[in-house]
Amino acid sequence: MLTMKRKKEVSMKKNKTLTKASALSMALVLTLGSVGTLDVCADENVNDKVYVTMNVPYSDFYKAYNVTDAAVWEVEEGIDAVSTATTGKFAQTTGLANGTYNDGKYIKGVTIPVALDSNEYEAIKDYANKTDKEDYFFSALESKPSYYSEVEIAEGKLVFDKFANAEYDNPNFTVKGYSTSSRYGDYQISLGGFSPAKKITVSEEQVLENANVYGVILKTTDNDACGMTVLENLWLATRLSDIEVAFSTKNGKGLTGRGNRGKYYQFDINGKTLSSVDVITNYGVFTINKFANGENVANTLKLDKYYEGDLSALSATISNDSDVLSIKGLPTDFENVKVSINGLCTDAEVVDGKVKLDKAPVDGTNYTVNISSSNYANISLTVATPVSEAQVADLNKWIAKAKAVANYAENEELKKQVENAESAKTDKNATSVTAANAIKSLMSAVKKNYEKFEVVAALNGKKLKVELTGAEVSKLENATYSLTYKEGRMTTTLASGVLDKDTVEIDAEPVLETEYTLTIVSDNYQDVSVAVVAKEAINDENKDDNKDENKDDNKNDNKDENKDVDKKDNTSNKTETKKDDKKDNTKTDVAKEENKNAVKVGDKVTVGGVIYKVTDVNKKIVEAVGLAKKNAKSVKIAASVKVGKDKFKVTAVANKAFFKSKLTKVTIGANVVTIGKQAFAKSKKLKTVIVKSKNIKKVLAKAFAGTSKKIKVKVPAKKLKTYKKLFKKGAVKASKVVK
């Protein structure tokens, strides 16, 4: 939703003054002290108006609309802002935080087009010297906007007027998607017709492009007017078809933002009725007064009422050896109570404080118990099974392994994890989730002290083959494997099982040419993960042993038939046979030698100081996997390299290939398609990356994280726009990608 185009021209001209005559020009030039000049759009026909975009605090913005409440509060002394959003989501004022500005810690408000009288502009023109993170910073507009906020100065303060109402015939907007199940608020709705992709669909015939939504106001039949703020309430994820609005109320679920960022802002709106929703945009203010709840469309929407009594006695318990949930402290005035637990039961009845489950729960899982009634909004509880005997055994095993680590007495991290593990065994409030987390953390701490091994894997059909370097499969304790893949933001497991030999058959059919992540976990080595691409199954060729089933019979027959044959002929035949046998043996030896020298998946070659590994023999493909010399300062990743007698294309830079290297410069070859996860991460001195390839499709997470702050990635001119987006995923700022 980020605002109009900004234009700022800086020169070193000084000490110009704004004259009345220049204020009347359409391309007004105004002095900014020592900063220089600023081109500002002015309107000679309307009281010398000047148009700019300005950072307006939410508290000032919503005053114009007479809201009774807004999701803004004093986050620190003297600072009104929005605080429950994580900073990573609004580091850029685009995307999820579209149209806002922030100080690096809090979202402060919105950046909107405003109009000022030229005299008022004179009074605040020095605000242009502020930074773009400060309140009231402004920059020039090239033309008069269609909709804007009028600004006046009253008693030394800026006062902002509201945007004019939008003027479009028969807008087809509907509030829909009402829910009380959101984890971002006690209530959630969607604004039908308002897309996070910056589009407003007024009707099938009329779609407004480049639309910025600055604010949303929920109005009730009790004359409440509640101002919503970005990320606290407004969710602008472009994967959604409509903007979502989540909001909380007093006596609700008490939801909190992630990372212990406090409770979401609570409006005094419990059980009230929405009468309309105002959406403030750069196309004016739109009012929605149609509400869809299921298949019904009405002029209002009654919000479910949350129970306002004492729920401190409400509790529920489950066990891994029982298919019954026990519930206590349920208020007596709840009517038609039903209980649902994802994966365990749906709309089950409560009988004498018991709920029959479809199956027993699993250790190490938190279950959400949703309690619904006909007269109150749903109540949610989180339950887990108690710590199991098997978990206690695992805790004891890893505690013993931890204490057996060399220099355990000086290892503070390890001792802390052992302390947590001991607590998980003895704390009466601990659950199987507590124990599972303690086991996982302790295992991780212990394994940091174990040896590593390398793995090369091949997945042909359902056959998974692994080759280990630095360990043997037979020597791994309690080894297991898993094959996973990404589905959007989710990680899905294709197959998993025990790894007790070099080749195992998985129980699922992989998708050809799909990249999976193979993870091998054992009790005596560090965990290992490696990428493996699914290939076609290899069919074993039938081997002809050339043995005659009737060998003895034929031998006897031949003996009888040829008993009168001349001995000379027999001698001649024997000589010829020996020659033939010798030739055959020579051919066999050559074949064996050729097979011995054949290129295999996993073979490595070193060219120009870079180590390459074969990933596909048939397609003749390798990937760059590391440096031949750890202290290398500059390398070129080739377009292709020779492996054996053939030329292989270099199509990828492997995960962590140059992790923590001392490189200052690297050239990426013309055939590279993928740059792997953390490929160059923590190479602190890497300043220059020259990209020759025009075919890069993936730059994976943190590929360049932790490299020099002065890094420049030089790319082909025609790929600049595309590569800016790609390399951003690899932790390179768009401004660092140049042609």
If you average pLDDT over residues 516-545, what whole number do you get?
84
Position 86 pLDDT exceeds 90: no
- Give the sign of the dihedral formed by CA 550, CA 556, CA 560, CA 561: positive
Q: Phi and psi of 463, rounded to 5°? A: -95, 120
**pLDDT at residue 1 in the model:** 30
Q: Identify the top-confidence range among 243-247, 248-252, 263-267, 575-579.
A: 243-247
Angle between helices 389-403 and 412-426 (to 10 degrees): 160
pLDDT digits (tens, 9 = 90+) for 652-664: 999 999 999 999 9
Position 322 pLDDT exceeds 90: yes
Position 7 pLDDT exceeds 50: no
pLDDT digits (tens, 9 = 90+) for 585-641: 544 454 444 555 689 999 999 999 999 999 999 999 999 999 999 899 999 999 999
pLDDT digits (tens, 9 = 90+) for 478-492: 999 999 998 777 899
State how far the Cα of 644 lies from the Cα of 647, in Å rounded to an integer.
Answer: 8
Position 17 pLDDT exceeds 50: no
Name the residue among 160, 154, 165 with its Cα closest to residue 62: 160
CA angle 112, 275, 229 (to 5 degrees): 30
Q: Where are the domains of the chain?
A: 20-160, 315-383, 389-447, 454-535, 633-641+648-738
- Which residues neighbour 171 within 8 Å (Cβ) at sequence distance 6 or greater? 193, 202, 203, 286
Name the residue among 520, 404, 400, 540 with its Cα closest to residue 469: 520
Name the residue among 493, 482, 397, 492 with its Cα closest to residue 438: 397
**pLDDT at residue 92 in the model:** 58
If you average pLDDT over residues 210-235, what whole number do you get?
95
Beta-bridged to residue 611, according to DSSP, are 606, 626
If you average pLDDT over residues 327-347, what whole number do you get?
95
> Quick check: 643 and 622 in contact, CB under 8 A?
yes
Percent pLDDT > 90 in the chain is 70
Position 45 pLDDT exceeds 60: no
- Hunting for tokens 């019954």 — which residue is that? 324
CATH of 454-535, one of 2.40.30.10, 2.60.40.1270, 2.60.40.1930, 3.40.50.720: 2.60.40.1270
Name the residue among 171, 153, 154, 152 with its Cα closest to residue 162: 152
**pLDDT at residue 87 in the model:** 65
Position 506 pLDDT exceeds 80: yes
β-strands 634-637, 199-201: how paired?
A: unpaired
If you average pLDDT over residues 528-546, what whole number do you get?
74
> Quick check: 290 and 173 in contact, CB under 8 A?
yes
CA distance readout (Å), 726 to 151, 376, 723:
41, 48, 5
> Quick check: 273 and 220 in contact, CB under 8 A?
yes
Position 125 pLDDT exceeds 80: yes
State how far the Cα of 530 lies from the Cα of 457, in Å rounded to an integer.
Answer: 8
Laid out side by side, the sheet with 528-535 consists of: 490-498, 480-487, 515-521, 528-535, 454-460, 463-469, 503-505
Position 565 pLDDT exceeds 50: no
CA distance from start to end of the chain:
28
- Model confidence at 649, pLDDT cuts 50, 70, 90, reads very high
If you average pLDDT over residues 42-62, what whole number do you get?
83
Q: Give the least confident one: 34-38, 154-158, 168-172.
A: 34-38
Position 508 pLDDT exceeds 70: yes
> Quick check: 293 and 177 in contact, CB under 8 A?
no
- Model confidence at 239, pLDDT cuts 50, 70, 90, reads confident
State how far the Cα of 158 lies from the Cα of 628, in Å rounded to an integer.
Answer: 64
| 271 token code pair | 């059980």
Kind and range of the H or E element at 585?
Answer: helix 567-596
- Model confidence at 296, pLDDT cuts 50, 70, 90, reads confident
Position 581 pLDDT exceeds 60: no
- Hunting for tokens 């025990």 — which residue is that? 498
- Model confidence at 90, pLDDT cuts 50, 70, 90, reads low
State how far the Cα of 251 lies from the Cα of 308, in Å rounded to an integer.
Answer: 6
Name the residue among 478, 531, 528, 537 with its Cα closest to residue 506: 537
CA distance readout (Å), 596 to 135, 542, 577:
72, 21, 28
- Model confidence at 561, pLDDT cuts 50, 70, 90, reads very low
Q: Phi and psi of 500, rounded to 5°? A: -120, 5
CATH of 633-641+648-738, one of 3.80.10.10, 1.10.10.10, 3.40.309.10, 3.30.470.20: 3.80.10.10
Name the DSSP class of 219. Answer: E
State how far the Cα of 206 lies from the Cα of 168, in Å rounded to an integer.
Answer: 9
> Quick check: 367 and 358 in contact, CB under 8 A?
no
**pLDDT at residue 79 in the model:** 80
Number of H helices, E strands in the chain: 9, 52
State how far the Cα of 583 lies from the Cα of 164, in Å rounded to an integer.
Answer: 97
Position 440 pLDDT exceeds 90: yes
Q: What is the mean pLDDT of the chain?
A: 85
Q: Give the least confident one: 78-82, 450-454, 595-599.
A: 595-599
Position 20 pLDDT exceeds 50: no
Architecture of the domain made up of 315-383: Sandwich (2.60)
The reply to whether domains 454-535 and 633-641+648-738 share a CATH topology is no
